[in-house]
Amino acid sequence: MAQNPVKERNTPINVWLGNIMVKDDTPKEQSKFGKAVSATNTAAEAVVSASVSKALPLKDVTGIDSALIEGLMMTPLVEVKGREPLPQTPGEGDVKIEVELTRGVSNTSVGYGDVLDVVLGSGSSSYGGFRMTLKDLSDGRTVASRNFNKSYLGSHDFGGKLKNSIKYAVRDFLCGIHPLYGNIIDAQSLLDENKKDVLIDLGAKDGVWKDLEFKICKAGPTIKGRPTSKTLGYASTKEVNDDTTLIHISKGKKEIAEELKNGTQLFVVNTTP
């Protein structure tokens, strides 16, 4: 089957780190705890006593910075800029990511050390989640934002660490809004043996990981200069190699097989993790 230029959509973005903020979600009757410790540390003060979001000093976010950088390094199509100076003339694909932690204390017995753990990215028992926002450096607009609340945190094994959850959340966030595109390059087992596996031209070198899932699509007409597509089905990763991945069709097998038999070039795009 002939290759189509769908992978030309896989253009990298340059990601800088923006503000790390905190928002207090502590009930008013528990605020005395915050006042008792706030004078001893700027970061702790921001966490426990701020009624609105407040950016933390860089010296107090090294743990969260390192988690973000680790996550960005795992993310497909990302050039990690970290805390490098922002470009004077931002170009297309120049963005920054901001994180807002939500402080939520379940009882007044939480100690001062736990407050610092939350800020430094190692604790988890007293935060209520976080929000990530991606902003375009060229015009300041918000490209996308996503809340990572307790339902997300509870559905993953982060070992009880805020730092770990942030690392994987930034990968999931960016991969959802800046996805990978690839082609089906081998579907013989599907067509000849009625199996549900097909091979795509994306692998570990492209950033595919074992839990990533894909939509299988066919190209539609171009409308107002923008390509459209139709989703035929869904697939999960089965075996990830350096340059290719075997994916297993979970939905839409019949329609996918019919299109392939008719010589239709199908492509894949990852779904939001």
pLDDT in the model for residue 152: 74
Q: Which residue type, as a one-letter code, is found at position 81?
A: K
d(CA 112, CA 128): 17
Asked if 263 and 215 count as a contact pair (C-beta separation under 8 A), the reply is: no
pLDDT in the model for residue 103: 67
Instruction: Read off the pTM.
Output: 0.80
SS (H, E, C) the chain: CCCCHHHHHCCCEEEEEEEEEEEECCCHHHHHHHHHHHCCCHHHHHHHHCCCCEECCHHHCHHHHHHHHHHHHHCCCEEEEECCCCCCCCCCCEEEEEEEEEECCCCCCCCHHHHHHHHHCCCCCCEEEEEEEEEECCCCCEEEEEEECHHHHHCCCCCCCHHHHHHHHHHHHHHHHCCCEEEEEECHHHHHHCCCEEEECCCHHHCCCCCCEEEEEEEEEEECCEEEEEEEEEEEEEEECCCCEEEEEEECHHHHHHHHHCCCCEEEEECCC
Q: Which residue type, as a one-letter code, is found at position 15?
A: V
d(CA 162, CA 266): 39
CA dist 191 to 112, 197, 199, 240, 259, Å?
62, 10, 12, 21, 11
Provide the CATH number for the domain formed by 180-270 in this structure.
2.40.10
Looking at the chain, the domain(s) classified CATH 2.40.10 span 180-270
The residue assigned the tokens 């973000």 is 68
Residues of the chain with pLDDT under 70: 1-5, 24-52, 103-128, 153-161
pLDDT in the model for residue 64: 87
